[in-house]
Structure 1
C-alpha cells in the first residue's frame, strides 16, 4: 500500500475516531474539548453513533472498511489487464465519492431540530435529536474521501495517473462549489420563498415586478429620482464603463506613444486609487464639491455662485467611479497598446495616411479585444460598487445599496435581496455575453515578416 493511500485512510480514520465531529463553541485549538471527549457536543463520529444515537453516521465507517479492503487487495497496474484496473479504479471512485457526498448530504438533511425537509420527515425513519454544524472530524473525513476518489480517478488513467494532480483538482472543485456556488445558489433560492417560507414562483414574480425596480422616466438619463434602481444601475454602469475605457486608453497612449516626461509619475498616480480604501474617493469628493466643500465655498466667495448639492446623485457617483476604476482600465489597456505592432502604423503612414486614419483603421481595430475587456471590467466594477453609491448616492439608488439595506435595514427581506442579486448576476452575464459576441467572430492576429524591436 502506497504512502498516499495510507494517508487517505488515516485521515478518514482520524476524523471518525479522534476529532470532534461537530463544530465547537470554543476554539478547536484551545483543546478544551479533550476534557469532554465523549460528550454529546465533542465526541467523534464513532462515539456519536455508539453513545448519542447518531445512527445516520454508521455508513461512514462502513465505507472506510470498504476502502481499506480495496486497498488491501490492489490491482497491479503492470500485470493486470486495462479493463481490470479500470474496474478497480471505478470501485475506489465510487467509495470515495459516496463518502464525501454523504458527509455533505447528511449535514444538509439533518439540522438542529431533526430532518430539515418535510419530505424527509414523511418518508424516512424517525430520529432522536438533531445535529449542528460540521466540525474538524467531518472536515478530515471529507478530505480523506476526496483523496480516495482522486486515487481511483488516477488509477483509471486520467491525469496521466498523477494522484496529486487529481486530488488537487477535486479539492479545488469542491472548495469552489462549497464557498462560491452554494452560497450564491442559497441566496438566489430565497427569491422563490414566500412569507410562509414555501416555494412559490409567484413570490419571485412579485419581487421582480416591483415598480421600484423597473420604473422608467426621461429623468433616468440625468439621474432623476423617479427611475427604477435597475435602470439606475444599468445606466451608471454603461456610463462608467464607457468613461473608464476612454480615459484608460488616453492614459495608455500618453504613457506609450508620447514624449511626456512625467510617465513614471503618471503611472504612480493612475495606480494610487486602486490601493486607497473604498470610501476615501467619495469622502474626498464631498470635501471638495460638497455643499460646504472647498470648491463650492470658493465659487460662492469669488463669484457669488450659490452652494449646491449636485455632487449627491448620479454625477457624484459617476465621478467617483471614474476616479476609482480608470486605473483598472489603464492597467488592462497599457499592455494592449504596447502589443500593437509599430511597423503596421509606420507602413500606414508611409502610404500617406494621416495620424487619425492610422489610429482609426489600423491601431484601434487591433485594440478592440482589449477595449472590450476594459469595458467589461468597468461595467462589472460599477454594478458591484457599494462604497461610492452609499456615500454619494443620496436619492439615487442602485442595486448594491438596495441589497445592503434589504439585509440590514428596518425590515429584513432576504427574498428582496436575493432577487436584486439575481438581476445583478443577469446584468453581469449579459455584459460578458456581449463582450464575447463582439470579439468572437474576428481575428486580431498580426502577421509580420520580421519581429518588432
Structure 2
C-alpha cells in the first residue's frame, strides 16, 4: 500500500477517534458536569450550602441507609442466583434444553420493572395465586407483604440476577477442567474444589455481573416507587424524584446534590469491583467447554423439577400478569 494511502488511513482514524471522544464528552461528561455544577450553586454563585443542608438532614441519612441496605440485599440475591444458575447450566448434565432454559432465565430482566412488580403484587395479593396454592398445604404458609423492605429486596434481586448469570456462565465454561481434576486428585472434595479453584477463576465474570446488578438495583426507580412509596420507604432514586416534583426554589439544586451522593455510592461499588478483579486470577484459554463436568445421577430429576418450577414461576408470572391486563383492557374496550 502506498505511503500516501497509509497516511490518509491514519488521518481518517484520528478524525473518527476525535469525533468519538467529542460524542462521549457531549453525551456522558457534559451531563455529569452540569449535575455537579448545579449542586454547588446557590443563587448563581459557588456554594456548598446544598451539601451542608442535605447532610445535616436526618432524613437524608435515613434514605441513604435504606438505599444501601436494599441494594446490598438485592445484589446478594442476584449474585447468589446468578452463580447457582450459571454453574448448573455450565457444569451439570441437566436435561430439558439449556438454550430454552437460558431464555427463561433472561426473561425477568427483559420485562419492564413496573410490569414485574405489578405481577408479583398480584401473585402475592389477597386473591392471588399464592393464596390459592397455600390453601393446598395442611399447614399455614403465612401471607407475604411486598410493600416492605423485604419485598423491595426480593423483587429487585429476582429481576437482576440474569446480569450475573450472563457474565458468569462463559467464564465458568472457560475454566480448564484439568485444573479441577488436579484438585480432586489431590484429595479435595467437590465443595473444596468449587470454593478454592472454580470460584476464584470465575471471579472476573461474577464481579462484573455483580457490579452491573449493583448499579441496576441502585438506580432502579420503578420497583422502589411501586412498593416503597406506599410503605413510606424511600431510596435515593425515589427521594430525588420527590424533590423534583415538589418544586420549590431549591428543588433542582437538592435533587442534583442527592444525585451526586447517588453517584458516590456507585463509585464505591466500582472501587469494590476493582479490588475483586485485582485479586482474581485470569483464565488464558478462550475456548468454552460446553460438556457436562458434574453428573447429578439420582438427584437429577429432583434438581430439574426444582429448577424448572423456579424458572416457570419467576418468568411466567410477569407474562401472565401482562396477558391478564391485556385481556381486561380488551374486554372493557
The match for 1:426 among 264, 274, 282 is 264
The match for 2:51 among 204, 212, 218 is 204
CA distance in 2, matches of 1:257, 1:418: 46
Q: Which SS does the other structure have where 2:188 is aligned?
A: coil
Q: Against the structure 1 CA distance between its residues 344 and 366, is the aligned structure 2 distance closer, same or farther, given a 3 Å change threshold?
A: same
Aligned to 1:414: 252
CA contact (8 A) 2:74 2:157 kept: yes
Could you report, residue by residue, the CA deviation over 1:91-115 in whole angstroms, capped at 9, with x for unpaired residues?
xxxxxxxxxxxxxxxxxxxxxxxxx
Matches within 5 A, 1:53-452: 162-194=10-42, 196-214=43-61, 228-262=62-96, 263-296=98-131, 299=134, 310-393=145-228, 394-409=231-246, 411=248, 413-441=251-279, 443-445=281-283
Residue 425 of structure 1: how far off its partner (Å): 0.8
CA contact (8 A) 1:281 1:323 kept: no
Residue 176 of structure 1: how far off its partner (Å): 1.6
Residue 282 of structure 1: how far off its partner (Å): 0.3
CA distance in 2, matches of 1:427, 1:418: 14
Which structure has the highest helix share of the two?
Answer: 2
Cα RMSD of the aligned pairs, angstroms, is 2.9
Q: Against the structure 1 CA distance between its residues 295 and 326, is the aligned structure 2 distance closer, same or farther, given a 3 Å change threshold?
A: same
User: Which segment drifts farther, 417-426 or 342-351?
Assistant: 342-351
CA contact (8 A) 1:270 1:327 kept: yes
Aligned residues: 281
- Which structure: larger Rg? 1
CA distance in 1, matches of 2:280, 2:172: 18
CA contact (8 A) 1:192 1:201 kept: yes
State TM-score, norm by structure 2. 0.76
CA contact (8 A) 2:175 2:198 kept: yes
Q: Which SS does the other structure have where 1:311 is aligned?
A: coil
Residue 334 of structure 1: how far off its partner (Å): 0.5
Residue 403 of structure 1: how far off its partner (Å): 1.3
CA distance in 1, matches of 2:186, 2:140: 54
Residue 344 of structure 1: how far off its partner (Å): 1.0
Residue 209 of structure 1: how far off its partner (Å): 2.6
Q: Against the structure 1 CA distance between its residues 442 and 285, is the aligned structure 2 distance closer, same or farther, given a 3 Å change threshold?
A: closer
Residue 439 of structure 1: how far off its partner (Å): 2.6
- In the alignment, structure 1 segments of 5+ residues that lack a partner are 1-76, 79-156, 215-227
Could you report, residue by residue, the CA deviation over 1:236-265 in whole angstroms, capped at 9, with x for unpaired residues?
111122211111110011111111112233
